[in-house]
Structure formats: structure tokens, C-alpha cells
Structure 1
Amino acid sequence: MFESRSDRRSQGRKQLRAERQAYLDLVARGVGTSEACRLVGVNRRTGHRWRYGRESQTKAGWQSDRGSAVRPSSGSARYLSQDERIVIADRLREGASQAAIAVELGRPACTISREIRRNRHPGSGVYRPYAAQERADSRRPRPKPGKIAAHPELRALVQGRLDLRHSPEQISRRLRRDFPERSELHVSHETIYQALYVQGRGELRRELTAALRTGRAVRRPRRQPGQRQTRFVAPMLMISDRPAEVEDRAVPGHWEGDLIIGKDSASAIGTLVERATRYVLLVHLGHDRTADHVRDGLLATMNTLPTHLKRSLTWDQGGEMALHHEFTMATDMPVYFCDPHSPWQRGSNENTNGLLRQYFPKGTDLSTHSPEHLAAVAAELNGRPRKTLGWDTPAERLAKLLAVTG
């Protein structure tokens, strides 16, 4: 233990280096300011200044009177710097609002509000910049122990509910509802998933993953649409390249296409919908939906149409359209591809596929339907009045457009 000085007269800053270090070591071990000052033999105001800092003006400019216990703040612009925290403290003393401080620092207002709420003195409520910097630096080191690992009671509750096959979200919501006043037992469903899937932490038994509805022992990564790799050799034309006349549905001849899939993905039917009239054509594919068979089926169907009804085709990025460039060369119809996971970009076709499920239920073998039966189903749909067409049928609307354009 550091021996207290018998001579309490001021010795200046340089002579108190040993006392300062001893004081900071005591504070780091949890000793209070008053007790640490008494043990070291310095005035309480001196110890307070060593701990929380004070700016003093010298001939060289502004210098910080800080001890070595303060860790340097991160240089990342993501975090508030010590200089920014000093500005916050100064402006708060001047009575500035949090919104004004945020504008001055170029930070979101919520950042300033959260900083003050988390780092002000718990007793007085005063915001001290150097103490705030110390708290922020102490919270920053990674990795940190997970909340579930740090609370045995929470861990037991989560494990027990997983044994009952509750989902992580159900567990999270029920814990908040059953223990509203105990925040230490509140945990997000994402934290539970992390405890299950992140190896090396050991927060929950790995075998508990079998209780999840997916049954997966590892987490499946989710690829963002922008990271999707093209599956086609030939360059694609995206829907953003489609001409404006397609959007307003005023000119006939622009089609949307897709497949409906049968039982065990072993059979399929090609569906084509004309955007202006909602006129439907069905393509017989049977058990074969390879790219060359789909290309041939589309060519055979489109060749039954007059030239002015073959302007463009919009499809999703399914592998069945890998030979889209060959289809385009044979028909002079460009194929435009929708963005990944964007079925609404082919809204007419998606709606028609839903109507077709009345005739071709999910889970059935679609190869049993002959080309003649498909033509009969298409004719029935094309003779059905449609609200979006002012109660015209697709066949009637197509006939009107052909009369005008003819």
C-alpha cells in the first residue's frame, strides 16, 4: 500500500507523479475518490481533477491535465471523440439544446441524446466529458461475454423453453411478459439465435438446436439480392431497360411469363400473359423444363401470333431462360428480366398463375394435361370478364386492340 505523505504542502505537478499514479491505481481497483485521496495524502479536489480532468490554458495553448489511466479514444469517426464530448459538456452548460449540439457536431440528434443519457453522472446528472470518455472506452473492447452466458437463471429459462420447442421469438416475448420488472431476464430472439449458432461461446447446449423448427445446427447465411451471381452466359436485359410503352399497357404485344410447377418439381406448364389485355397463352412442357425445351415451347407458342403482337417478354431469373438470347434471335422479341425476389414486377402473370391453380392444383402432376386441354383452359380464362378491363373479357379486349392497330 502506498504510504501517505506526512508533509501535505503543495509540491507542484512534477513532484506528485508517484502520488497521481498511486491514486489512479486505487481508483481502478474500485476505491472511492475520497478514500483514495486520504490514502495517497492529497487534497480531494486534486484527486477529483486527476480522475475527471480539467482544461488549463497555457502559453502553448489548451492542454489536458489528465492521468495515464485514460485510454486513448478510437480514431474511428463512428464513435464520438473526446473533443466532441468536451463540446457537448460545454454547450450543455451554456443551455444549448441537444438538437442544436447535434447540428453543430454533424451527428444525429439520437446520438447526442443517447450519449448524455448513458454517460452523465448517475447522482448529479451532470455530464462530465472525461468520465464519459472513460466509460465509453471501457465498454468498447470486444469480444464481450453474451448475456445468456453471464446470467445462469436466464440461461436455465431459455434452455427450459427450448426443450418445450418454443421458438426464440416466443421465448423472448414471454420472458418480457412474465418478468416485466427484471430487465436482466429480458433477451432478444437474435441473442438466443446467436447463443445457439455461434460456435465457441458455449452459452447453450448445441443439441438444443434440434428443438428449433428448422432443425439446423448451423445458421444459413442469407445472400443479399445485390450479391446474386448471374446464372446466364448471355448478358441479360433488366426490367429497368424496358421501354416506357410497356409500363402504360397502351400498346399490345408485351408479355409476362413464368412457370407453374407440379408435384415434386417434376412437371411444369409455361404461362404467358399479355400486359394490355391480360390474354393468356399456356405452353405444354410435360416433365421437361430444361432451358432448350422451354425455348422450343415458347417459340412454338409465339409463332402462332402475328408480328405486331410479339414486342417483348418479361421473365424472372429462373434457369429455364438460360437460352433467352436464342429465343430473342428467333422471334426478334427482347427478354427483360425482373430483379431478384421481385414477383410484383410481373404482377399480371402472378395474378394469372393464381387463377390457373383452380385448374392445376398444387401438388398434382401437370404432365397429365395435354396441349389441347391447356388450350381449352386458356380459352376459358380469356372468356372470363375482368374488372380491371371494365368487365370486358381478355379476348374481347384483344380483338378491340387488333381492330385499332390493324
Structure 2
Amino acid sequence: MARRRFMELLAQGWALRAACREVGVSRSTGNNWKHGSKVKLKDGTVKFVPPLEPLSTRVISPRFLSEAERITIADLASQGLGPTAIAELMGRSPSTISRELRRNLHPSGQYRPFHAHAAAASRRRRVRTTKLEADTELHAFVSDKLQQKWSPQQISRALRLAHPHDPGRRISTESIYLALYRPGVGLMTAPSPLRTGRDQRRAHCRQVRSRRRFAQPMISIHERGFDPTDRGEPGHWEGDLIVGPHHRSAIGTLVERQTRYVKLLHLASQDSLTLCASLAAALGPLPAGLRNSLTWDQGTEMARHLELTRDTGIRVYFCDAASPWQRGSNENTNGLLRQYFPKSTDLSQHSAGDLARVEAELNQRPRRILEDRTPAELFKALLASQNHPPPLR
């Protein structure tokens, strides 16, 4: 049986992908077997299909019924034999057979050995109350931060900083994820509070997206003078657009590389003239030391980059084709923004005030890369002092 073999391989330490390949099922099917899945019924209701029971494949004491013995019981019972006769043939106690037939019946009223074996294994599992279920104050804190669109990792780090000497007031990132995906805990809402929008675990996948190319002339990122991982000098920005359906709406995004400070641009359209004016308005008022460079992809919306350089003094560099990692901070920020502006939604419905609110909320989040400081406080320090804070890498 494929499901049983799959769980046996996982119990032996096989990776999910390898176990799926061995039993001949897709990775998504294996992921559903391992973590459970949600199914929408014809009447519109959503049913949670629980994961396969790992204990059903473990070797247990011979005094308990095995899966093979349950198959034998089903065969003999279908022939009309009673518990006593079955017990004599199997060398078991009649009370064991009678209890098995009574306790592990399928909802259809029949005795099905595989269902019975899974039900027995499920009863062996010791289900513990999660930390968030037992601590109402901790539950309220985590729930509140999730509604503010904090990630589980940010919440875990905030608790560790607030209670450095009290492990009882802290919770790990994985525990928050487990509580989110566990029915009945009450953290999962509609829509999902996670940036990905997921309401259940899914297999990781890598999407390849094509990009439009930019016409010459342009200055390559390789002429910028420092590596994409070097964040020692402030005033270097990364930018991009997040676009709506059919490229009919867009929001401009800017990230200062050292502090991860975010600026959002309200765009009436995504043509080069509108973008150039918005960038000049956002970057022009900054001190010259905070207008060193801007890195963009090869989208044609930056066709007026020479005009932007002329108006603001900021030099524009362009990434290699299909190399989003060269603008890593901006790519990460765009992922965060999709929690506020989901894909396939009309971005023109968001006003400049809406963007200002999202911008402020993002800049007030503590960031692990900033040692749990916020982009807002670091950028404020850059603006207020000629002595810049120590480099953050």
C-alpha cells in the first residue's frame, strides 16, 4: 500500500521528495498525506482531511493487534464468524476480538481493517495541549501581532527580547506555525494572517518569471563599485514595481539597503514619465549622502533614468536579466507588501494615504537583520546625524 510505504520511508528518515518518488506519487500528494489538506465539498463547506497517522507504521508490541491481524479479522468476520471463533483461529482472547470489532468500526457500520488500524494508532498518540492554548495571555499577544501582519519569526524574537530570563513567556517560531495550522487553536483567520496567504503547509516551490528587457544605454550593476552583499554605506536604494492584473495598475517600491527603510510610490500609471516624477519627489528632498545610487531591474518604466539622475543627482544602475537576487532587499520587501496588496488585485484602488499607512507599518516592524531594531529608528538616525550608525550587513 502506497500510503503505508510512504509513512514507513518518512519514519526511516527519508526526505519528503525522495519518499514521494519511491512510492510513485506527486510531491503535493505526499505533502497532503504528511500534513493534511482542505477539501471544498459540493455544498461549499470546507472539510479538513487529517494527515496520515505516523504511528500506524511503527513496530509495536506483539500483544497489540497488527495491521495483518486486522486484515485477517475482517476476512473471517465477512465469512460470518463470531468473536469467539475468530479468537480461536488467531490464538487471541475472545474479548480482544470483540473489543476490536466494537471500537474500530467504520462510520459505514462495517469493519474495515485499514481504517481500524489507523484509528487504533491515533488513540495511541498522546495529544498535548499547545503552549498557546494553555496560556491565554501569550495567545492574545501572538494573535494581536499576527493581525498587525508580523511574521511568526518576528513575534518569537520580540518575546525573547521582552522576556530574556523567562522561558515560560516565550515561544519558538515553529510552535507558532504549528498552532496556526492546527484546527481549534484559533489563530488562523480568513484571510490568512501569513504573508504567503497560506492556511495550511505546502511544499516549497520555485517560480520562474520572465522580465521585460531595458533598452540601452544603461549602467550595469557591475559598475556600481560594491558587491550586492555589501551594505556598509548608507544612501543606496533598490527599487521595483508591484503590478496589478494585466499591468493596468502599479505601486512603486523603494528600499534603503542599509536600514531596509521602505518608501511606497502612488502611481497614477506605470509609464516612465510618471515613475520618474514620483522618484524625484520621493528621493529629491533627502540629503545628498542618502542619494548615492538606485538599483532597478531592466523594466522599460525606467527609460527616463538619465532625467532622474539629472534632477536628483542619484545614479541609476540596472541588474542583470533574470537576476532578482541582485536586488535582494527590494525583492523581500515586495513579498512583504503582497500581504497588503495580494496578487491579481487592482492596485489603483489604494490611495496615497493607504500607501502611507502600509509604509509606516512596515517601517515600524522589528527586523532580525537589524538586530530587532526597526527601519524607522535607524533611518531617523541617518537623517538626524552626520555620524552614521555602525554598518549593518
Q: When the two structures are superposed, what TM-score results if normalisation uses the length of structure 1?
A: 0.42
Structure with the greater alpha carbon radius of gyration: 1
Higher RCO by CA contacts (8 Å cutoff, separation 6 or greater): 2
Q: When the two structures are superposed, what TM-score results if normalisation uses the length of structure 2?
A: 0.43
